[in-house]
Structure 1
Amino acid sequence: MDVSENLYAPQRAEGVSATEAQRPFYTVSRTKFLTLFLLTFGSYQLYWAYKNWQQFKQASGKEMWPIARALFAIFFTHALYREANARIKQNGTTYDWRPGELATLYVVIAIISNVLDSLVRKNIGFPTIDLISLALLPLHGWVTWQGQRGLNKAAGDPLGESNARLTPINYVFIVLGVLLWALMVFSFTLPPE
């Protein structure tokens, strides 16, 4: 061990670059974010929330459970955006992104989306509820992306250029998403029972 290493610094996870480990929040480009969000029917937001809290935990050294904060993102998104806004101010920069309003909008859309998805699973209101749920997906993605822009700014990578390339696992989820989208479109063409 090098004597210059900080013994009290949070340990980096295996396979995490030094630059990524030093960033207080997860950064991602707009194209990659929206592609993964839309093609995974919004499931990407679980990974997104987890990575943001994991990065924050590593950078701050605060004790928390990133997985729990990701699973219950509606309760923790305001705190995440507040931390990012505090970091922006701490860096001596400004960014007009209205974190409180964006977090509230994220929570409201997430709750509406969950209610609609619950109705879809119970086959209530087919196909109208399904179509409303699908129409809400781009709005949900766009609102979440607006929050990500603030997180990117707080992490010192406003455009998310350090995470713009798709990885092999991203392509796996893209292929699965395209297949799921195709299956869903096909199901709408079938005659009602």
Structure 2
Amino acid sequence: MTRTTGTPNDPTRRDRIIDAALTVIAERGVVGTTHRRVAEAAGVPLGSMTYHFDGMRDLLVAAFTRLAESMSARYRALLDAAETPQQARDAVVEIICGPGLGTPRELLLIYELYAFAERTPPVKDVTRAWMRASRVALSRHFDARTARALDALVEGLTIHNSMDADPMDRRDVAAIVDAISA
């Protein structure tokens, strides 16, 4: 049985549903995400799902958009704080190796996002917008080609390091970032 919270005019309900969708996706994958599971995790009546979203695809787009925007904001903040080329390179290394981006839960959600995006054009648009935002943040410090290469490096090394029994250490990542951005 779902528990209800708030009044019928609950202004946080939609956001709670989106956050709950990310929780359910992280626990069960996109394929195991249902309206009933999300409603239960959000503590809302099942009817709220169709009130706030035009089906599961709409909910998943909203959830993956929230993930992308949240991670992109933290990524951008690290790069925005950089004032010198070396600080910008250090920020890229931090994005790849630091604890603040790419938590195990977020990485799991990213894997789900990529797989689902390949078959779902609106979600593919979310990933493309995220890539553009990453490149814009990098382009404050690097030319367009270097920004694109560094963006691909961030994606690739983050995924590899999360799955590798012997992940690349920070010193080696810094050497690669230096080589690409030289």
TM-score computed with the length of structure 1 as normaliser: 0.29
| Structure (1 or 2) with the greater helix fraction | 2
What is the TM-score of this pair, normalised by structure 2?
A: 0.30
